[in-house]
């Protein structure tokens, strides 16, 4: 399934937040969305998930305008993990995963044997099978993020949208979470678009990078061609060094900021 934004713009009141954004995510791709705080990453992801309608342009799912599709149809194909998902209830981990199956169920049915099998398989894949009976509210931030990723996998989406999934996680959790997503994309031929602040993680795990600055796409391509010293200077206002050590690695010296 191809997710495509075509000339997408969005405003909050009189303020333009996104302008003329073109973007395409194809099966088997991990696309990193990078840009400074306030550049419009979360706003764009919400438009891509069909949660908001763009003021201009259109978001397409395999050529059909996402706004013309029933919410349930979109949810059968697109999973969205927002920043720090919270809940007023105190569900168990198992309950959270069950929610991932909702778009595939008729409203009056309970979980089928197939639903349970998918949940078991994903719980093993994401190594949360030991915490299924625990309450979500009692988990650490890293564990919760892992459960949210698992909930997205359980949805069996063709497109996964993640908004800064590695925020507040220690380096080991960050790496294992990105590895999980990359492996899932490789195994299922789904695609993922992920807003990330860590340029090294983006370089390591993304096939393609889209750079957003003040609501516009200002760069797009493979990490080695987009995450450059000049882009980091122009877009983030930081003087960084790219140390090419078996791939690309971004290093920012303490006296390197601002450029
Ligand atoms: N519903 C809204 N009403 C008014 N302004 C909004 C709304 N949603 C977003 N904005 C504004 O749009 C701008 C872009 O916000 P957005 O959260 O999309 O950026 P971001 O790149 O995800 O930022 P961060 O990296 O800090 O999460 C911000 O200035 C924000 O205040």
Per-domain residue ranges of the chain: 3-227, 228-259
User: Residue 149 in contact with residue 177, Cβ under 8 Å?
Assistant: yes
Q: What is the pLDDT of residues 42-55, one digit of tens each?
A: 999 999 999 999 99
How far, in Å, from the CA of 16 to the mean position of ligand 1?
11
Q: What is the pLDDT of residues 170-211, one digit of tens each?
A: 899 899 999 999 999 999 989 999 999 999 999 999 999 999
pLDDT at 259: 44
Q: How many C-beta atoms surround the C-beta of residue 182 within 10 A?
A: 17
pLDDT at 251: 78
Bridge partners (DSSP) listed for residue 75: none
pLDDT at 169: 87
**Sign (positive or negative) of CA dihedral 128, 134, 137, 140:** negative
3-227 is a CATH 3.40.50.800 domain: no
Q: Which of 164, 101, 96 is nearest to 134 (CA)?
A: 96
Nearest CA to ligand 1 atom 30: 38
Q: What is the pLDDT of residues 217-258, one digit of tens each?
A: 999 999 999 999 999 999 999 999 998 776 667 777 776 555
Kindly state if the Cβ of 11 falls inside 6 Å of ligand 1: no
Nearest CA to ligand 1 atom 29: 38
Quick one: angle between helices 171-188 and 141-154, nearest 10?
10
Kindly state if the Cβ of 12 falls inside 6 Å of ligand 1: yes
Comparing 41 with 250, the larger pLDDT belongs to: 41
How far, in Å, from the CA of 18 to the mean position of ligand 1?
10
Q: Which of 19, 113, 21, 14 is nearest to 59 (CA)?
A: 21
pLDDT at 141: 87
How far, in Å, from the CA of 238 to the mean position of ligand 1?
21
Using CA atoms, how far apart are residues 136 and 140, in angstroms rounded to an integer?
Answer: 9
The pLDDT mean for the chain works out to 92
Note the residue count of the chain. Answer: 259
Q: Which two tokens stand for residue 193?
A: 């678009």
Q: Give the 3-state secondary structure of residue 111.
A: coil
Nearest CA to ligand 1 atom 12: 17
Using CA atoms, how far apart are residues 147 and 30, in angstroms rounded to an integer?
Answer: 20
Nearest CA to ligand 1 atom 10: 12
Kindly state if the Cβ of 35 falls inside 6 Å of ligand 1: yes
Nearest CA to ligand 1 atom 7: 12
Mean pLDDT of 151-164: 97
Write down the H helix ranges in 92-170: 93-99, 113-125, 141-154
How far, in Å, from the CA of 31 to the mean position of ligand 1?
20
Q: Which two tokens stand for residue 66?
A: 């996402």
How far, in Å, from the CA of 38 to the mean position of ligand 1?
5
């Amino acid at each position: 399934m191809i997710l495509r934004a075509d000339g997408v713009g969005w405003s909050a009141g009189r303020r333009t937040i996104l302008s003329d954004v073109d973007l395409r995510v194809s099966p088997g791709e991990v696309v990193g969305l990078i840009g400074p705080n306030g550049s419009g990453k979360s706003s764009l992801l919400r438009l891509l998930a069909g949660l908001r309608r763009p003021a201009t342009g259109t978001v397409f799912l395999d050529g059909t305008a996402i706004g013309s599709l029933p919410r349930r149809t979109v949810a059968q194909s697109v999973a969205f993990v927002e920043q720090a998902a919270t809940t007023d209830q105190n569900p168990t981990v198992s309950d959270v995963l069950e929610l991932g199956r909702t778009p595939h169920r008729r409203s009056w049915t309970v979980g089928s044997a197939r639903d349970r099998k998918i949940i078991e398989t994903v719980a093993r894949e994401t190594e949360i099978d030991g915490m299924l009976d625990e309450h979500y509210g009692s988990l650490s931030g890293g564990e919760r993020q892992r459960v949210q990723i698992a909930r997205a996998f359980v949805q069996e989406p063709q497109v996964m949208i993640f908004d800064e999934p590695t925020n507040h996680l220690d380096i080991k959790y960050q790496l294992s979470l990105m590895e999980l997503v990359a492996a899932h994309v490789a195994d299922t031929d789904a695609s993922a678009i992920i807003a990330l602040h860590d340029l090294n993680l983006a370089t390591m795990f993304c096939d393609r990078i889209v750079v957003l600055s003040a609501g516009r796409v200002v760069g797009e391509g493979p990490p080695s061609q987009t995450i450059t010293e000049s882009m980091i200077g122009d877009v983030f206002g930081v003087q960084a060094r790219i140390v090419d050590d078996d791939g690309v690695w971004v290093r920012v010296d303490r006296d390197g900021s601002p450029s």
